[in-house]
């Protein structure tokens, strides 16, 4: 079977790795891919936002499935265009992708449908947004860009002054461009965050195991917000009962609300959750596999990934499918980022990449080949280094050690991915002695 994978980051490398390990007869084409994906697939130099060229490539290659990784082509309507040509594609339509691309519309939908989430209001002018902070929300408060901001458009403000600054930067200084043309002032929620992926046919879901992402650049959740500096799975807080509860109170009602508004969601629904004292609440939805959570989750999958992707892309129902199956191991992913990330990542630094055993997966996220053939940095997040082990502690140590072995000038990574899980385990172990 020939499959076109759209994208060229760590998420797409993890998807390519999972599909290739599942079925070695798959003929995988990636656009544009990257040097790591190139070891598993033929790559085509087509930009993910060149929708006409992507459709032409899918037709020329006569692919049986297109898997769309990034949010940008989904938002622009790539799945719509492919389906018009009769090409099965896994991912939501442009209308359904607004679950991620318009936080304002999605928040309004959730509040109307009674889906658990924080109260919020949407603004286009700074004065009104600041008035809301002063009179109704106080601090701490969350300021969000409504549109796509590469995972960096959410600012947790612990003082009113910080909130005013965030509002000014979004609405007046346009630091997020059109993505920040409108912003949300949202009530602050306390608790731990979880990322829960679910394959959806528009009616039913196949939930995956939950992961926990780490957005801040530095150890101890310090420093600026990023697209994600690492993740781990599974999370002990995510029990089967919690997954069932989230499915019944959040995922299925969201699918119902999206059908009701005429934008049924098929593809991968990503629920960013906050585990509050009142139960799980939605922080945000994404319309695709998350990065770097995908790199921690997919290596633990033992059942077929291809089967549900194909079913959804062909318009079939998945309600009767066997639940996804998982290894009993732990996976920890440490992101190795370029110098200057996240504000001004530097490119073209030469990379020394050693060999690793099979329990270490090194996913290329921002790499390229120089004219002399050398492997060089080409993006903010350069690698996602996933270690798989029988215990969380071993996976954490191996991931950190493997990340340290990758060398390029200015490389930066966190040494504490999974620190909350480590603290829980230490508390549990202390209680048993």
Q: What is the CATH number of the domain that holds 46?
A: 3.40.50.20
Judgement on whether residues 219 and 306 belong to the same structural domain of the protein: yes
Judgement on whether residues 422 and 401 belong to the same structural domain of the protein: yes
| pLDDT score for 43 | 98
Residue 112 lies in a domain: no
Q: How far is CA 243 from the centre of its chain?
A: 18
- Measured in degrees and rounded to the nearest 5, phi and psi for residue 182 equal -135, 150
Judgement on whether residues 174 and 197 belong to the same structural domain of the protein: no
The closest alpha carbon to 208, from 81, 344, 305, belongs to 305
| pLDDT score for 179 | 79
The pTM assigned to this predicted structure is 0.94
Residue 321 lies in a domain: no
Domain boundary among 134, 151, 181: 181
Residue 308 lies in a domain: yes
The CA-based angle 256-262-264, given to 5 degrees, is 55
Judgement on whether residues 6 and 76 belong to the same structural domain of the protein: yes
Domain count, the chain: 4
Q: Strand, coil or helix: what is 380?
A: coil
Residue 212 lies in a domain: yes
Domain boundary among 181, 214, 249: 181
Judgement on whether residues 36 and 64 belong to the same structural domain of the protein: yes
Judgement on whether residues 205 and 177 belong to the same structural domain of the protein: no
Buried b (16+ CB within 10 A) or exposed e, 26-62: bebbbbbbbbbbbebbebbebebebbeebbebbeebe
Judgement on whether residues 369 and 396 belong to the same structural domain of the protein: yes
Judgement on whether residues 295 and 203 belong to the same structural domain of the protein: yes
* Rounded Cα–Cα distance for residues 26 and 29 (Å): 10
In 3-93, where does DSSP find H-type helix? 10-22, 51-61, 71-76, 78-84
Judgement on whether residues 230 and 293 belong to the same structural domain of the protein: yes
- Blockwise average pLDDT, block size 10, the chain, 433 residues: 97 98 94 98 97 98 98 97 98 97 93 95 94 94 85 86 94 86 93 97 98 96 93 97 98 98 98 96 96 98 98 96 97 98 96 96 98 96 98 98 98 98 90 69
Judgement on whether residues 174 and 201 belong to the same structural domain of the protein: no
Number of residues that make up the chain: 433
What's the CATH code of the domain at 175? 3.30.1490.20
What's the CATH code of the domain at 425? 3.90.600.10
Domain that holds residue 418: 330-431
Judgement on whether residues 213 and 307 belong to the same structural domain of the protein: yes
Residue 111 lies in a domain: no
Q: Strand, coil or helix: what is 119?
A: coil
The closest alpha carbon to 266, from 351, 203, 220, belongs to 203
Residue 116 lies in a domain: no
């Amino acid at each position: 079977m020939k499959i076109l994978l759209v994208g060229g980051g760590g998420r797409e490398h993890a998807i390519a790795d999972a599909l290739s390990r599942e079925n070695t007869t798959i003929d995988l084409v990636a656009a544009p891919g990257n040097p790591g994906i190139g070891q598993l697939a033929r790559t085509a130099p087509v930009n993910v936002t060149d929708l006409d060229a992507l459709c032409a490539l899918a037709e020329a290659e006569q692919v049986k499935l297109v898997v769309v990784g990034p949010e940008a082509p989904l938002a622009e309507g790539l799945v719509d265009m492919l389906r018009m040509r009769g090409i099965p594609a896994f991912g939501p339509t442009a209308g359904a992708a607004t679950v991620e691309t318009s936080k304002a519309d999605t928040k309004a939908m959730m509040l109307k449908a009674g889906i658990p989430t924080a109260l919020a209001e949407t603004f286009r002018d700074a004065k009104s947004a600041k008035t809301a902070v002063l009179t109704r929300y106080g601090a701490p408060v969350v300021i969000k860009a409504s549109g796509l901001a590469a995972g960096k458009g959410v600012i947790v403000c612990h003082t009113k002054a910080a909130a005013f600054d965030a509002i000014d930067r979004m609405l007046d200084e346009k630091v997020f461009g059109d993505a920040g043309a409108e912003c949300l002032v949202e009530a602050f929620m306390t608790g731990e965050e979880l990322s829960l992926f679910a394959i959806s046919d528009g009616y039913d879901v196949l939930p995956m195991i939950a992961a926990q992402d780490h957005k801040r650049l530095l150890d101890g959740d310090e420093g600026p917000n990023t697209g994600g500096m690492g993740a781990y799975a599974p999370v002990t807080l995510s029990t089967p009962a919690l997954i069932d509860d989230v499915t019944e109170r959040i995922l299925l009602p969201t699918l119902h609300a999206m059908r009701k508004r005429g934008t049924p969601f098929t593809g991968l629904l990503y629920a960013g959750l906050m585990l509050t004292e009142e139960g799980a609440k939605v922080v945000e939805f994404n319309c695709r596999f998350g990065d770097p959570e995908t790199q921690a989750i997919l290596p633990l999958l033992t059942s077929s990934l291809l089967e549900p992707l194909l079913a959804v892309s062909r318009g079939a129902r998945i309600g009767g499918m066997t639940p996804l199956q998982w290894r009993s191991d732990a996976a920890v992913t440490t992101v190795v980022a370029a110098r200057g990330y996240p504000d001004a990542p530097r490119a073209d630094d030469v990379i020394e990449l050693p060999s690793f055993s099979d329990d270490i997966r090194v996913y290329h996220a921002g790499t390229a080949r120089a004219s002399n053939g050398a492997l060089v940095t080409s993006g903010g997040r350069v690698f996602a280094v996933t270690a798989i082990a029988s215990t969380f502690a071993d996976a954490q140590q191996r991931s950190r050690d493997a990340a340290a072995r990758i060398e390029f000038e200015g490389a930066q990574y966190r040494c504490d991915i999974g620190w909350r899980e480590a603290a829980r385990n230490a508390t549990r172990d202390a209680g048993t002695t």
